[in-house]
Structure 1
Amino acid sequence: MFEKDSKTEKPTPKRRSQARQDGNVARSQDLNSAVVLSVGSMMLLWTGGMMFSEMAEVMKGIFRHSATTEITIGIMPEYLAQGIHAIAKIVGPLFIGIMIAGFLVNVGQVGMKVSLKSAKPKFERLNPLSGIKKLFSLRALIELPKSFLKLIVIGGIIYLTIMASVEQIYSLVEIPFENLAGNMGGLLGKVFLMAALSLLIIGILDYAYQKYDFEKSLKMSKEEVKEEAKQSEGDPKVKGKIREIMFKNAFRRMMKAVPEADVVITNPVFLAIALKYDREKNGAPVVLAKGKRKVAERIREIAIEHNIPIVENKPLAWALWKAVEIGEAIPVELYKAVAEVLAYVYRLKNKFFGVA
């Protein structure tokens, strides 16, 4: 009980997706039945008279033909096939309409995705203890009065509809046989339609409840949300460790590149940027390494170890830090300032550097 009460958080998209894959969706069987019955009733109301009349004509034709033709076992299959074909032509549109209505109302409730998990056999469904538990569950306690309510409402509507049509029913006795079927079809369509409309109201209310109950069942506790976040995004401790390892690897690669630099420009203590210019490979000087504080200190130490000139230039150091990432060439606006530094370094090394 406490566990259910603690589930106060809205379901995550992953939780919803998993429920859908398991075939757990909000669906009202009452709404399905109501829509199918409504469509069938309306079709019966509009075309029922014609359908019953055509069926009566088919039956009359069969009896009339059988009176003048000897019925043998050999022609029975032909008679049967003709009868089935004629009846199928009459009631086929009704069944097709009902099937389309059933399909559309299901798609409207649960969408087009089909879950095969819900169709798999489960031992729990065959377990008598599970069945007994379901009989005394909260859902069963709700379904029982709902079934009685449907029975009372639909039965009452049918009774009132029939009572309102008593005179029409009595008049059927006086109607010729050829017109009887048409009148019966219209009357049955009217009764079914009134029952369907009452069931439709119940179905809409039931769907609203099923939606509410489904959302409630998907709710999660704070711990479940945290656990799912860990599974989806990774444990923060593990992610932190991975970042640390990646930083160390990147740091080692950067420090290995420092000895190849032509010059290290400093702030002088806070920043250090190692530059290399290779006219054959790059059109402009490239940043091999850069860092602040301890990283800058380590870059300077390696530069001293490998006799790489260190030039103090605060404005240029900050400009390079902000504008250029490791491995990138310097931007055009810094060409002149960097060229002056490199020219100075090359003069110290007695090397020639030409500036275009």
Structure 2
Amino acid sequence: MAGEDDTADKTEDPTQKRLDDALERGDVVKSQELNTWFLIAAATLVLTTFSDSIGSGIMMPLRNLIANSWMIHTDGAGLLAMARGLAYAVIAAIGLPLVMLMLAALAGNMLQHRLVWSGEPLKPTLSKISPLSGAKRLFGKQAAVNFAKGIFKLVLLGSVMVMILWPERMRLESLLHLDPNALLGVTLSLTKHLMGSVVALLAIVAIGDYLFQYRQWYERQKMSVQEVKEEFKQSEGDPHVKGRIRQLRQQRMKKRMMAAVPKASVIITNPTHYSVALAYERGMQAPVCVAKGVDNIAFKIREIARAHDIPIVENVPLARALYATVEIDDEIPVEHYHAVAEIIGYVMGLRRNLSGRL
């Protein structure tokens, strides 16, 4: 019941990370019927294309061996040389067909998934030796599908073989009286016909089995809502932790900003909301924003400015514009040079007057 509940909880489609992890573990879509189809199709192609060359490639060395049997040395070296020559001849005759069969076997796997190098399936697990798990494999959905698939293939292929061979029954009876050379040609023709039909029918079985195996694999990868949340936390970070980090950064920035307010030359404000602290010294290319804020932070900037006798100038549009366009420790934009220069010039003039009076 617990296993059924776990399966029922997995209602969410798998993420790309979940699918990639399954691939790394070696948990991939695997349709044995598709692999079998590729091998049978390749064997049919080899038979129709290379049967003559394979036969002649093997027949000629054997014919020469029989014709020149009196020349064979019966010592160890002679027999070894003869066996080596026959082996080379057989390899030369069947080498290319064997390569085609190996490529077909690889193609059957690579069509379903990319190549995977994983030792995960080889690790010993209790589920592999558990009687309960073995019973589930014997009587589960996969076993039922394999049984039905086997019956279907047996009935289908048997019917096709009967349909092809029944009209040839009289001809097959006469094969007992044919010359071996003629017998080989007739047998080869019937074999090609049978294998071509088998390839066509097994293609339907292979496609159906692949779709079923893919669906089963995809269902296994489904996730519960909690698993989706956990994966999001792992990949994107815990939202609570990220919020706390953001809060700490803002607090540090606020402290650094308030510590820089006493270095400001002037505070430009909108009395109700905005405050922007600008610092300027002779030789600087343009004034620099050392602090800015709205509402409570803006009032705090003004409070620190009053405590350090920093001039506060009210300019509503300039305060709003500077707050929106300039960042901390950045120079003011060019379009505000003139307005800020007038204010700083006014402030520096006031300071000179105060110094002269003192």
TM norm structure 1: 0.90
1:147 equivalent in structure 2:
150
User: Aligned to 1:32, which of 24, 31, 35?
Assistant: 35
Residue matched to 1:302? 304
The one-letter code sitting in structure 2 at the alignment partner of 1:24 is D
Deviations along 1:47-78, one digit per CA (max 9) or x if unpaired, are 22342244233322222222554534331111
Secondary structure at 2:338 match in 1: helix
From the superposition, tell whether residues 87 and 118 of structure 1 become closer, same or farther in structure 2 (CA, over 3 Å). same
Is 1:48 the counterpart of 2:48? The answer is no
Q: Please name the residue that 1:326 is paired with.
A: 328
Aligned position for 1:316 = 318
For 1:308 and 1:25, the matched residues in 2 are separated by 70
CA gap of 1:294–1:175, structure 2 versus 1, over 3 A, is same
Kept in 1, the 8 Å contact 2:268–2:314? The answer is yes
Secondary structure of 1:98's match? Answer: helix
Q: 1:266 to 1:291 in 2, by over 3 A?
A: same
Identity score, percent? 34
Q: For structure 2, which runs of at least 5 residues remain unmatched after alignment? A: 354-358
- Summarize the alignment of residues 70-81 of structure 1 with structure 2, pairs less than 5 Å apart: 70-81=73-84
Q: Secondary structure at the match of 1:44?
A: helix
One-letter code of the match for 2:145? I
Q: Which segment drifts farther, 42-51 or 293-302? A: 42-51
Aligned partners of 2:72 and 2:79 also within 8 Å: no
Aligned CA distance change for structure 1 residues 268 and 62 (closer, same or farther; 3 Å): same
Q: Distance in 1 between matches of 2:169 and 2:70?
A: 37
Secondary structure of 1:350 counterpart = helix
Q: 1:79 to 1:291 in 2, by over 3 A?
A: same
Kept after mapping to 2: 8 A contact 1:52/1:185: no
Aligned-residue offset at 1:253: 1.0
Which ranges of structure 1 fall in alignment gaps of 5 or more residues?
352-356
Q: Which string of whole-angstrom CA distances, capped at 9 and with x for unpartnered residues, describes residues 231-288 of structure 1?
A: 22222222211111111011111111111110111101311000011343x4111111
Pairing of 1:50-199 with structure 2 (within 5 A): 50-112=53-115, 114-124=116-126, 126-129=128-131, 130-166=133-169, 169-170=172-173, 172-173=175-176, 176-178=179-181, 180-181=183-184, 183-199=186-202
2:345 paired residue number: 343
Partners in 2 of 1:339 and 1:165 — Cα distance? 107
* Aligned CA distance change for structure 1 residues 89 and 187 (closer, same or farther; 3 Å): farther
Shift of residue 299, structure 1, vs aligned partner: 0.6
Cα separation, 2, equivalents of 1:54 and 1:183: 21
Partner Cα separation in structure 2 for residue 348 and residue 307 of structure 1: 12
Q: How does 1:267-286 map to 2 (within 5 A)?
A: 267-280=270-283, 282-286=284-288
Aligned to 1:354: none
Q: Hey, what's the Cα distance between the residues in 1 that align with 2:263 and 2:11?
A: 60
SS at match of 2:233: helix
The 3 A distance-change label for structure 1 pair 186 and 71 is: farther
Answer yes or no: is the 8 Å Cα contact 1:39–1:98 preserved in 2: yes
Distance in structure 2 (CA, Å) of the matches to 1:169 and 1:89: 34
Structure 1 equivalent of residue 19 of structure 2? 16
| Aligned length, in residue pairs | 350
| Conserved? CA contact 1:51–1:182, under 8 Å | no
Residues 131/26 of structure 1: CA separation in 2 closer, same or farther (3 Å cut): same
The aligned counterpart of 1:227 is 230
d(CA) in 2 for partners of 1:284, 1:9 = 56
User: In 2, Cα distance between the equivalents of 1:79 and 1:200?
Assistant: 44
Q: Residues 273-324 of structure 1, C-alpha deviation per residue, up to 9 Å, x if partnerless? A: 00011343x4111111100000001111111111111111111101101111
Deviation at 1:82, TM superposition (A): 1.1
Report if aligned partners of 1:260, 1:276 keep a CA contact under 8 Å in 2: yes
Quick one: higher RCO (CA 8 Å, sep 6+), 1 or 2? 1
The amino acid across from 2:197 in the alignment is: M
Alignment partner of 1:236 out of 239, 253, 258: 239
